Structure 1
């Protein structure tokens, strides 16, 4: 495995990587190698992208990350790695544990060289809970057929986070948590109809990730433009080229070849490519020149293989080549010219086994090129109608999309989009709800690239970020699309709400200029909602979401918390941890000198004549401004910083809620001991909390970093609603009428529980 030159960091160094406009910069302590792996404790802090961005102290500085895996836990067994590839496997494991190694390892090689298999093995051998921290893979992302947005959403989901854009993902990765990400099939990103997507994924998503000091990246990419972008972002990165013979043990490879079923394989002629050997075992009379490069041998072998095929199997494989993506055996058998299930199964036996069970495509690439060269261009319009013929029919004669296979609907949409990027099928709401989400995202991307205007459905799909496992069910997808269609396409919103049959619905939806914070007005601003959208602060009607004129001065682009104060203004906690007063309509947020006496805080909320604070040590406090009296539980309720607080009237007193980095949600009342246990807990940091006394009872709202928003009425532990809205919720407010106002990166929504 080879690597490039590395450089030494200096005190307070400004480290910036190639990565477009998404790259962050980091201040490193002396001795840190900016091209290598930088322990969290060696990073002083960071600056977000853009001019004039405020410095953010490293949240882990001086506070080591607790390892949830016991050091004495038994290590998992290492799965077998065949085809003589143990040298490559050992090299990857050594790179993974090398504290002085580069942060990028690219696995290269020709098609069929076993890149995907090797990286799948690595992820299985190194689970996230491995007792050795140096042997952990936290996400295995297959980007075949994905766009930048769908790849970003799936990666965030795999990491227990939520993000719809690379910038959002970079933002949530600034938590100082070491992670290792494995990416496979970069060269197949986008699929047919989206040329250049591998380069876009490399440049817009992966290259910026390489700027994060505590993140390691293993990427499968052959030599080419996408690989060049990664090299530019990490010039010292390691490269493991599986076409190089030293990464395959010749004797073990020969023994593996001898066990292949079918025709005899000459290991010297196919070494070091397992895919070439598997194809040779399916090809009678294969004779290869071992001195030729793997790609040339693959081309010659594909010609021999194709010439030897029976006519029926040729037809089945030609049909598979028209799909423009992997297919199950069942769907493949229904394609025009496929010849039915028996012929397809016979044809499948003539292909190397797929990386994923029952997801067939022509491989290696030379096989796909050979089959495509013998067929006429695909008539996508005709294929669309052929695929549509397999959709079940309702009693009224219309297509029953709900009863159809999501894979078939994805293929239908793929051909429709390839034939016409602005296809009217993108206006068919039920098709979007029941098809595989990645195909829908790719179709919307083709329409955008072709210059088609984005309508309400396209915008709602983008904001909902459906390319995540939690939205695999159409009902869950319908619920979140309903949220973003409300106020823009009320007919579609109502249809989604009916299908979702959820315990919540959206009352209003307003677009936002940037990441938002919200807070209920108190004192002079009581009855209004304060919303800061990264540009200005406005007083808003909580019943309708109708914004008033700008009421406050400009605010930071990434605020952390917002609280109304009894003085008529507000307090804003910015992303760097600085708390400052903000004037609202001429009223001050706090008298001069007030903020300076408060000490460090990580969360803030206002209530009547009081302010509630969360602190870095896990404690919370309630300060009455008129008396100067402060209450706080005797011991901190959270392990690590408090990340969100809320407060309301309850039971003749004041009830405080807090959420922490430890994933726990606690409640307590000033002057009384806290409850013996948290009211909720999840294995993700809390990002927002709110409490409110409503006509239906006390309502608790809490959100976590994986995107879950949980609404519960007090005492209804097993009811309420768990909601995912396509982004991490950073701010919540509960109005006296029972609306839950949710601030998101590009929108503010008002939700209500039903029943």
Structure 2
């Protein structure tokens, strides 16, 4: 158990009251720590965060997220805790606070409502600390969070500030540190004497009087403090800055979490619409030269040349008549194919596929779609006719490969889907809510792979020699693990990848660099792993990732609600058409 030392500034009574509030299930969800400047508010919160963020703290006292404050002295105090990564403008920016909290909780939230909705779906006890609030808009966001029964918030606000006036009028427990009952007078006096003898040099911590860069200069905003840029764009509602403001607000959480200007430029480029000033895209391309990835193309909501293909919920690389394409499904059930060379539309299925969750393309062009209810449907709008069509088809004995596979799937339900080609109809893997993966078709087998639901499946065709191969299935779970399993053998004992965030989607392919896997996670991270080449790179596109697809040329397609991007990692060299170049000598 964590040993909690005494808090500074003689704040033992306030600390005891804070811990008592945290343990009281009947207490209001918000504890407001108020008082005048120099009353020890920051020291109390620094003590609480430092202990509550340790790995061995009891769950009831754990701190899960901290939105760091605007005031440098408070930021310095709170930064003693392990959760110190965050903005210096959180106390003045609603989006800054949202993105800082979401990042530490391992979720993607573009706006306050998305963070509230994500926390509403998560029944776990969550403690969030918001030091040094001033702005009333941020305080209003805090009140909306406090309405969630599983969330506890500790907010610091100077007495008399706009934030304090709003928060103190809401249902809350208030610790006014100007009141004598919340301090040990003797230790408080000693602390005040020590502060007077060694005053903090606040000004040396301030950076260029808080001025934001030129918000119309793409290079400047990528090099500046991203939290200041966020606050400035948030305030400047009357100017789009050539399209930069809209792009920044689409991908801001990833931009604020990224420290490298080149990667920020690449991220910003990926969500920049074609209605933006064309000079901005040129500047961002140049600024992204030092990033680990190269963007081949992008399509953003509102684009007209070629037109925006719509939000993506599922994606799969095409085969057979769909070779060179990626098949995309949206939330409305529209399934279309777009070119991997530039996202030009290559047609769509005539029928809708309601609530598509994931998709897979068979070698003949048939598209399998798994819907949100777990049902698999097959769509043959792009499928090639079999050699047995016409009179030969009438005389053929028995159903074809695709029909046999569909027969095996009839009545089955799953949470994830992948298809492996084979000598017959191939093998379909279906994930289950209980963590089990089942195989149907050429191969029948099952294995428990996850604690909790299977969220994603992908397959590699592994050669065994003499023209014989076997499928290797990858599964990603809500437990954050990616596991590998070859039919007929025991699953690998350890995950091949593991993170604290749930897996959202997977794809795998044999590229020129060998066996390769792409995984996307619930916190917005996309990870590219070349098992044979040793390449391992990550990218956060900004908005929540809904689907990924990987082709044999190593191109990674990332599908989101507002953007579709295609990138390749720079550690492996590619021609402009995506085919691989030999390594540089």
Q: TM-score of the superposition, structure 1-length normalised?
A: 0.60
SS, match of residue 506 in structure 1: strand
Tell me the CA shift for residue 691 of structure 1.
Answer: 0.4
Q: 1:694 aligns with which of 505, 511, 523?
A: 511
**Equivalent in the alignment of 2:107:** 161
Tell me the CA shift for residue 157 of structure 1.
Answer: 1.9
Are 2:416 and 1:619 equivalent residues in the alignment? no
Q: 1:597 aligns with which of 411, 422, 444?
A: 411
SS, match of residue 66 in structure 2: strand
How far apart in 2 are the matches of 1:733 and 1:242?
55
Aligned residues of 1:666 and 1:677 also touching (Cα < 8 A): yes
Q: Please give the per-residue CA displacement for 1:160-183, whole angstroms capped at 9, x wherever unaligned.
A: 333332344345443443321101
Q: 1:353 aligns with which of 189, 200, 209?
A: 200
**Equivalent in the alignment of 2:66:** 140
**Equivalent in the alignment of 2:582:** none
Rate the CA distance shift 1:254–1:518 in 2: closer, same or farther, 3 A.
same
The structure whose Rg is larger is 1
Tell me the CA shift for residue 697 of structure 1.
Answer: 2.8
Aligned residues of 1:691 and 1:734 also touching (Cα < 8 A): yes
**Equivalent in the alignment of 1:539:** 337
What is the alpha-carbon root mean square deviation over aligned residues? 3.5
Which 10-residue stretch deviates more, 654-663 or 544-553?
Answer: 544-553
Are 2:86 and 1:240 equivalent residues in the alignment? no
How do residues 454-473 of structure 1 correspond to structure 2 at under 5 angstroms? 454-465=241-252, 470-473=257-260
Rate the CA distance shift 1:582–1:184 in 2: closer, same or farther, 3 A.
farther
Q: 1:630 aligns with which of 444, 455, 468?
A: 444
**Equivalent in the alignment of 1:741:** 557
Tell me the CA shift for residue 98 of structure 1.
Answer: 2.1
Q: Please give the per-residue CA displacement for 1:363-422, whole angstroms capped at 9, x wherever unaligned.
A: xxxxxxxxxxxxxxxxxxxxxxxxxxxxxxxxxxxxxxxxxxxx44x84536xxxxxxxx
**Equivalent in the alignment of 2:397:** none
Aligned residues of 1:701 and 1:709 also touching (Cα < 8 A): yes
Tell me the CA shift for residue 437 of structure 1.
Answer: 1.1
Rate the CA distance shift 1:716–1:523 in 2: closer, same or farther, 3 A.
closer
SS, match of residue 26 in structure 2: coil
**Equivalent in the alignment of 2:34:** 108
Are 2:341 and 1:495 equivalent residues in the alignment? no
**Equivalent in the alignment of 1:480:** 267
Q: TM-score of the superposition, structure 2-length normalised?
A: 0.76
**Equivalent in the alignment of 2:184:** 249
Q: Please give the per-residue CA displacement for 1:130-169, whole angstroms capped at 9, x wherever unaligned.
A: 3421111112212423422222222122223333323443
How far apart in 1 are the matches of 2:410 and 2:495?
31
Q: Please give the per-residue CA displacement for 1:588-626, whole angstroms capped at 9, x wherever unaligned.
A: x99999877324x332234454432222222212222xx
Rate the CA distance shift 1:259–1:128 in 2: closer, same or farther, 3 A.
closer
Aligned residues of 2:483 and 2:497 also touching (Cα < 8 A): yes
Rate the CA distance shift 1:567–1:486 in 2: closer, same or farther, 3 A.
closer
Rate the CA distance shift 1:207–1:467 in 2: closer, same or farther, 3 A.
farther
Tell me the CA shift for residue 742 of structure 1.
Answer: 0.9
Are 2:137 and 1:200 equivalent residues in the alignment? yes
How do residues 206-245 of structure 1 correspond to structure 2 at under 5 angstroms? 206-221=142-157, 222=159, 226=163, 236-245=171-180
Rate the CA distance shift 1:466–1:728 in 2: closer, same or farther, 3 A.
closer
Rate the CA distance shift 1:467–1:679 in 2: closer, same or farther, 3 A.
closer
Are 2:127 and 1:180 equivalent residues in the alignment? yes
Q: 1:506 aligns with which of 295, 298, 315?
A: 295
SS, match of residue 597 in structure 1: coil
Q: 1:453 aligns with which of 234, 240, 245?
A: 240
How far apart in 2 are the matches of 1:175 and 1:617?
19
How far apart in 2 are the matches of 1:258 and 1:453?
51
Aligned residues of 2:504 and 2:547 also touching (Cα < 8 A): yes
Which 10-residue stretch deviates more, 134-143 or 526-535?
Answer: 526-535
Q: Which has the higher contact order (CA 8 A, sep 6+)?
A: 2
**Equivalent in the alignment of 1:715:** 532
- Which stretches in structure 1 are left out of the alignment for 5+ residues? 1-73, 188-197, 263-348, 361-406, 415-424
Rate the CA distance shift 1:666–1:181 in 2: closer, same or farther, 3 A.
same
- Tell me which protein shows more strand as a share of its residues: 2
